[in-house]
């Protein structure tokens, strides 16, 4: 029930939109949620109603405004609160967006773990997920080429469990002591704080060369994985090797996977670059829009497990985070489903203050000696103290849904009040004792350890090329072409010759033809010999094409319908209906945002279609497809350069373009010119369009013209 408080804010049970009744986290957060209400008064932070917040208290004499008075406690409070609004942004993954949802287990994994969240199929576990980019700061663009963070907080009945993952299954370094060097090298350079939101600079590639362990990861980062179409269409990986421990105390090593049910899809590079300027919030808005429209993104949750005794059976070290466990060797087992279904109510207290820790595990889940994970377990807790203060786990978004009780006390901004006379253990009252294992107490896996203390890694960590080759070999031809282009773009932005020359040599250790292509484009000497022979092996699950959805769908895709006065109302309404029925989102784009009238419609009446946008407020990059209905409107559209560009650009970005009636002619005419716009002349004089593929093979302008002619003759 809503409780009114002085000052116009209300605690709102209803503020949590569409929260499932059994969503414990939604119910928990409601305790701290208020809504701005009309008809209620502003108060100070100490609750006193205020009658004027527009004028500072000052001396006035009727003619002049005199000095402002320091005694104005109302103005002082307002300014002081404002002065302290910012907290440090995350040192990495500063740019992000989050949403709530839940996790349902479809199959019990009781054979490998005792964790309730992974064994009890009757449970629905609330989650909060934060997606992010890595390099850029909080205000940077969404569509930059970068790894994406995929951090999941499971609010389980036994405490919070965090999988702080990425959309790429491996990492740049093997030992977490290298993390500060890596982050310094990837972030904007120290002398000029350039560049923002990208790795296309000397320091990153210098680091990449000097750490051959980064090779596998940078190949992923140069692939289309680093320019996702949507957060909803990318995989999530726990990356590190964790452990699962079952009731019998047996241990399996485990890797966690999230597989998007919509498939894995990417932007094309030109689109990503343009969107970074045209709509820097593209991914953030995409996630919110999908959830608001009920197109809840879903991922299959899968595990890969290796029994402890098989730890040494692989040519790579299974604790090395620069390596995947190829699916052919260690199959994926789908055991659950993650769904996001509720947007946040306010960004700062939820998405900004959420704090993840790899060290947050629950009984039945444990760590491994993965040297990257061990350092992460230290780092995340530490960084939250500097971002949020020591009592960060009390914040509404971070607190668990199960009881929290212990003898930790005090610290800045302590929120909770614990009654009782003792705050230590053991105590004479036996108050708040530790739980034994049968009572659910977390027990670290009793692992036998022996060794020499040294700063070193096991020998298998020294191999850095096999899986980089495996990844590249497993890509389709056009994915490979995109990798070559991405490397050429990045190294072209490095102006220190040692950087791009050495990197080209490194590429010759992956694939000689790739290195040769890149060398040509970046001005390095063309390597003649492979630094290492490519072993030619491939594996499944590495190309994005392996993740096509079970049945193709346009659900949640954004489709532009372009109209002007005189449009064909039947085609317009028909297509709009079909798009909506298929679960996609139609957006009407008009020549103006005032009513647009159909063919024959009475323009003096108050009817007409009010477009969602006018053409110059939007760009083709913001939509997945475009439809133009016929009608006399097409004459007007044909005269607008931006509309012609829209069609041509959509074509260049490989998007579906639909047209009926007169609009077919417009599309044809524009695409005939596109031969010139989008064709690239290669060194041997052949003309090819960039990246366009038809079922008949790569698109060639001549074949397009032929097809065009056939189409023309047949109509
Ligand atoms: Fe992170 N990482 N990281 N990282 N990381 C942070 O923690 C760190 C690594 C990842 O949405 C920081 O709360 C070390 C791998 C994500 O809030 C910090 C190492 C992976 C997020 C930190 C790594 C990640 C972070 C900064 C060892 C993929 C954003 C702010 C080399 C599995 C979480 C913060 C969010 C954030 C440290 C490597 C993923 C400083 C020491 C590998 C998704 O603690």
For position 671, which CATH number holds? 3.40.50.880
Q: Output the pLDDT for position 689.
A: 45
pLDDT above 60 for 707: no
Q: Output the pLDDT for position 22.
A: 72
Average pLDDT estimate for 484-509: 98
Q: How far, in Å, is the centroid of ligand 1 from the Cα of 91?
A: 9
Q: Kindly report, residue by residue over 240-269, the tens digit of the pLDDT.
A: 999 999 999 999 999 999 999 999 999 999
What DSSP string runs through 175-220? Answer: SGGGHHHHHHHHSSPTTT---SS---SHHHHHHHHH-GGGHHHHHH
| Same domain for 570 and 498 | no
| Alpha carbons 677 and 681: distance in angstroms, whole number | 11
Q: Kindly report, residue by residue over 104-128, the tens digit of the pLDDT.
A: 999 999 999 999 999 999 999 999 9
| Same domain for 563 and 651 | yes
Q: In this structure, how many other beta carbons lie within 10 angstroms of the beta carbon of residue 36?
A: 8
pTM score, two decimals?
0.92
Which residue CA neighbors atom 3 of ligand 1 most closely? 376
| Same domain for 527 and 641 | no
Q: How far, in Å, is the centroid of ligand 1 from the Cα of 599?
A: 57
Q: Which atom number of ligand 1 is nearest to the Cα of residue 375? A: 41
* pLDDT more than 90, % of the chain: 86
| Same domain for 704 and 683 | yes
Q: How far, in Å, is the centroid of ligand 1 from the Cα of 518?
A: 31
> Pick the residue with more confidence: 657 or 236?
236
Task: Assess if residue 412 is contained within a domain.
Answer: no
| Same domain for 288 and 209 | yes
Question: Which residues lie below 8 Å from residue 578, measured CB to CB, with a gap of 6+?
Answer: none
**Structural domain ending residue among the three candidates 546, 568, 591:** 546
Average model confidence (pLDDT) across the chain: 91
Q: Which atom number of ligand 1 is nearest to the Cα of residue 237? A: 32
Q: Confidence class of residue 544 from pLDDT cuts 50, 70 and 90? A: very high
| Same domain for 558 and 537 | no
| Same domain for 236 and 147 | yes
Ligand 1 interacting residues, C-beta cut-off 6 A = 90-93, 96, 130, 132, 149, 151, 164-166, 171, 173, 176, 179, 239-240, 321, 355-356, 372, 375-376, 379-380, 383
pLDDT above 60 for 177: yes
Q: Output the pLDDT for position 703.
A: 43
Is the Cβ–Cβ distance between 692 and 680 less than 8 Å?
Answer: no
Nearest to 265 by CA among 284, 279, 239, 283: 283
CATH of the domain at 297: 2.40.180.10
Task: Assess if residue 441 is contained within a domain.
Answer: no
**Structural domain ending residue among the three candidates 25, 54, 83:** 83
| Same domain for 143 and 113 | yes
Catalytic residue set: 93, 166
The preferred substitution site among 284, 379, 389, 393 for testing ligand 1, maximizing ligand atoms within 8 Å of CB, is 379
Task: Assess if residue 423 is contained within a domain.
Answer: no
**Structural domain ending residue among the three candidates 26, 50, 83:** 83
Structural domain containing residue 273 = 96-394
Q: Output the pLDDT for position 603.
A: 78
| Same domain for 222 and 157 | yes
Average pLDDT estimate for 377-381: 98
The preferred substitution site among 96, 149, 324, 354 for testing ligand 1, maximizing ligand atoms within 8 Å of CB, is 149
Is the Cβ–Cβ distance between 305 and 200 less than 8 Å?
Answer: no
| Alpha carbons 666 and 539: distance in angstroms, whole number | 45
Task: Assess if residue 299 is contained within a domain.
Answer: yes
pLDDT above 90 for 699: no
| Same domain for 105 and 11 | no
Among the residue ranges 80-84, 435-439, 675-679, the one predicted with the least confidence is 675-679
Q: Confidence class of residue 683 from pLDDT cuts 50, 70 and 90? A: low
Most confident of 17-21, 211-215, 661-665: 211-215
Task: Assess if residue 419 is contained within a domain.
Answer: no
pLDDT above 90 for 483: yes
| Same domain for 689 and 541 | no
Class of residue 531 by CB neighbours under 10 A (exposed 0-12, middle 13-18, buried 19+) = middle
| Same domain for 531 and 572 | no
Q: Angle at Cα 673 formed by Cα 692 and Cα 690, nearest 5°?
A: 20
pLDDT above 90 for 523: yes
CATH of the domain at 530: 1.20.1370.20
Task: Assess if residue 563 is contained within a domain.
Answer: yes
Give residue for tokens 């006065």: 565
> Pick the residue with more confidence: 22 or 472?
472
Average pLDDT estimate for 679-705: 42
Cα distances (angstroms) measured from residue 484 to each of 177, 256, 490, 621: 31, 30, 10, 23
Q: Output the pLDDT for position 14.
A: 34
Overall domain count for the chain:
4
Q: How far, in Å, is the centroid of ligand 1 from the Cα of 284?
A: 20
Q: Output the pLDDT for position 684.
A: 56
Q: Output the pLDDT for position 706.
A: 45
Q: Output the pLDDT for position 536.
A: 98
Question: Which residues lie below 8 Å from residue 283, measured CB to CB, with a gap of 6+?
Answer: 97, 131, 142, 143, 228, 230, 231
Q: How far, in Å, is the centroid of ligand 1 from the Cα of 380?
A: 7
Kindly give the interhelix angle for 477-492 and 269-278, rounded to the nearest 10 degrees: 50
Q: Output the pLDDT for position 551.
A: 86
| Alpha carbons 536 and 114: distance in angstroms, whole number | 41
Q: How far, in Å, is the centroid of ligand 1 from the Cα of 392?
A: 17
Q: Which atom number of ligand 1 is nearest to the Cα of residue 149? A: 43
pLDDT above 90 for 675: no
Q: Which atom number of ligand 1 is nearest to the Cα of residue 175? A: 31
Question: Which residues lie below 8 Å from residue 703, measured CB to CB, with a gap of 6+?
Answer: 694, 696
Task: Assess if residue 281 is contained within a domain.
Answer: yes
Task: Assess if residue 434 is contained within a domain.
Answer: no
Widest pairwise Cα distance in the chain: 96
Q: What is the number of alpha carbons within 13 Å of residue 523 lying toward its C-beta? A: 12
Q: Output the pLDDT for position 584.
A: 96
Q: Output the pLDDT for position 671.
A: 84
Q: In this structure, how many other beta carbons lie within 10 angstroms of the beta carbon of residue 75?
A: 18
Q: Output the pLDDT for position 682.
A: 52
Q: Which atom number of ligand 1 is nearest to the Cα of residue 96? A: 11
Which residue CA neighbors atom 24 of ligand 1 most closely? 165
């Amino acid at each position: 029930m809503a409780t009114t408080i002085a000052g116009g804010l209300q605690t709102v049970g209803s503020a949590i939109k569409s929260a499932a009744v059994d969503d414990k986290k939604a119910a928990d957060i409601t305790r701290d949620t208020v809504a701005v209400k009309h008809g209620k008064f502003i108060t100070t932070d100490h609750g006193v109603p205020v009658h004027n917040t527009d004028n500072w208290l000052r001396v006035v004499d009727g003619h002049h405004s005199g000095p402002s008075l320091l005694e104005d406690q109302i103005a002082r409070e307002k300014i002081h609160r404002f002065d302290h609004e910012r907290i440090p942004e995350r040192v990495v993954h500063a740019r992000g967006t989050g949403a709530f949802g839940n996790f349902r287990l479809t199959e019990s994994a009781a054979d490998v773990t005792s964790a309730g969240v992974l064994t009890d199929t009757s449970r629905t576990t609330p989650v909060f997920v934060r997606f992010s980019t890595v390099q850029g700061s909080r205000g940077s663009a969404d569509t930059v080429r970068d790894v994406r963070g995929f951090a999941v907080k499971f609010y389980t009945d036994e405490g919070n469990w965090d999988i702080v993952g990425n959309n790429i299954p491996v990492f740049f370094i093997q030992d977490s002591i290298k993390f500060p060097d890596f982050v310094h090298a990837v972030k904007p350079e120290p002398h000029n704080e350039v560049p923002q939101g990208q790795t296309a600079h000397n320091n990153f590639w210098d680091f990449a060369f000097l750490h051959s362990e980064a090779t596998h990861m940078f190949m992923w980062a140069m692939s289309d994985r680093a320019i996702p179409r949507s957060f909803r269409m990318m995989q999530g990986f726990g990356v590190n090797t964790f452990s699962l421990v079952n009731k019998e105390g047996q241990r399996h090593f485990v890797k966690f996977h999230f597989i998007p049910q919509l498939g894995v899809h990417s932007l094309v590079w030109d689109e990503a670059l343009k969107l970074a300027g045209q709509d820097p919030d593209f991914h953030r808005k995409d996630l919110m829009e999908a959830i608001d429209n009920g197109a809840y993104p879903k991922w299959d949750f899968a595990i890969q497990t290796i029994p402890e005794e098989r730890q040494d059976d692989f040519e790579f070290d299974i604790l090395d985070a620069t390596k995947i466990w190829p699916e052919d060797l260690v199959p994926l087992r789908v055991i659950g489903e993650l769904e996001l279904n509720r947007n946040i109510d306010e960004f700062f207290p939820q998405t900004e203050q959420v704090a993840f820790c790899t060290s947050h595990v629950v009984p039945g889940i444990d760590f491994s000696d993965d040297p990257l994970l061990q350092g992460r377990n230290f780092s995340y807790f530490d960084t939250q103290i500097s971002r949020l203060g020591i009592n960060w786990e009390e914040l509404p978004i971070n607190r668990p849904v199960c009881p929290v009780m212990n003898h930790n006390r005090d610290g800045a901004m302590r929120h909770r009040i614990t009654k009782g006379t003792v705050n230590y253990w053991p105590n004479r009252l036996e108050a708040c004792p530790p739980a034994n294992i049968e009572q659910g107490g977390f027990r670290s896996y009793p692992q036998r350890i022996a060794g020499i203390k040294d700063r070193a890694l096991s020998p298998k960590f020294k191999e850095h090329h096999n899986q980089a080759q495996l990844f590249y070999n497993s890509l389709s031809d056009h994915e490979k072409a995109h990798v070559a282009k991405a490397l050429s773009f990045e190294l072209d932005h490095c102006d220190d010759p040692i950087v791009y020359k050495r990197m080209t040599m490194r590429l010759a250790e992956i694939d000689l033809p790739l290195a040769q292509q890149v060398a040509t484009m970046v001005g390095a000497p063309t390597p003649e010999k492979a630094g290492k022979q490519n072993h030619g092996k491939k594996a499944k699950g590495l190309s994005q094409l392996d993740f096509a959805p079970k049945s193709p769908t346009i659900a949640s895709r954004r489709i532009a319908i372009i109209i002007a006065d005189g449009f064909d109302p039947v085609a317009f309404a028909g297509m709009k209906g079909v798009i909506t029925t298929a679960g996609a989102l139609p957006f009407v784009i008009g020549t103006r945002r005032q009513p647009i009238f159909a063919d024959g419609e009475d323009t003096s009446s108050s009817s007409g279609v009010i477009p969602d946008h006018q053409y110059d407020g939007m760009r083709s990059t913001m939509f997945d497809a475009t439809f133009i209905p016929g009608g006399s409107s097409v004459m007007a559209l044909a005269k607008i350069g931006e509309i012609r560009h829209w069609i041509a650009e959509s074509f260049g970005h490989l998007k579906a373009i639909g047209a009926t009636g007169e609009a077919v002619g417009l599309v044809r005419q524009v695409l005939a010119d596109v031969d010139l716009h989008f064709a690239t002349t290669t060194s041997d004089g052949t003309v090819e369009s960039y990246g366009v593929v038809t079922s008949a093979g790569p698109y060639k302008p001549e074949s397009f013209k032929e097809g065009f002619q056939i189409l023309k003759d047949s109509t």
